[in-house]
Amino acid sequence: MDLKITEQADNLLKDNGVRTEEILDIIKNAESGGSKLVSKDGNTCIAKGASENLTIYAVYSATELLDVYTHKMNILGITGGEIKPVEYDDESDWVCAKCNEPALERNVDMAYLGVTRPGPGIVCPKCGEMYVSAGMAKSTLKTAEAILEEKRA
């Protein structure tokens, strides 16, 4: 798959400290192994990969890399340990491609520099794969990481 990387996407890669080969590898692995989220309309995918201390997400269409985001936090697991049924509608806009199962919006525990807290995640109820949305990673997690890193300054 030959993806177009626009100047904007290239800047995102640089901002996040991700190399082009790295993101292409992540997408290639997701495509071959099927571990990815697909939007319900089928047009957009999210693939996830990890480098040293960094979780990297690629949002892409069939032709183009649309977005790149990262978090340094480590996703430990579902808050509370298992996926229990809830009364409200918790279905996300995404489907786990491997299981063909709608992914759920559930809290996951994330840890960074000795502090563990829950935050909203996107979880496949079947295989248990956990993702974080772009909005969550770019705002909340990035800010919390910066606060915790301030302790070095």
Query: Which residues of this chain interact with another protein, rule CB under 8 A?
Result: 8, 11-12, 15, 67, 69, 107, 110, 113-115, 117-120, 135-136, 138-144, 146-153
Least Å distance, CB 53 to another protein, is 13
Q: Cβ 65 to another protein, closest distance in Å? A: 12
Task: Choose between 91 and 101: whose C-beta lies nearer to another protein.
Answer: 91
CA atoms within 13 A of residue 138's CA, in its CB half-sphere:
10
Minimum Å gap between C-beta 12 and another protein is 5
Q: Which is nearer to another protein, 2 or 7 (CB)?
A: 7
> Please, what's the b/e burial string for 49-60 (b: 16 or more CB within 10 A of its CB; e: otherwise)?
beeeeebbbbbb
C-beta of 99 vs 134, nearer to another protein = 134
Burial track 75-98 (b if 16+ CB lie within 10 A, e otherwise): beebbeeeeeeeeeeeebebbbbb
Give the residue with the Cβ less far from another protein, 68 or 97.
Answer: 68
| Residue closer to another protein (CB basis): 63 or 143 | 143
Closest approach of another protein to the CB of residue 34, in Å: 27
Alpha carbons 153 and 149: distance in angstroms, whole number: 8
The DSSP line for 67-82 is EEEEE-SEEEEETTSS
Q: Is the dihedral of CA 51, 59, 92, 141 positive or negative?
A: positive
Instruction: Provide, rounded to whole angstroms, the least separation between the CB of residue 42 and another protein.
Output: 23
Residue 42, Ramachandran bin (φ over 0: left; ψ between -120 and 50: alpha; else beta): left
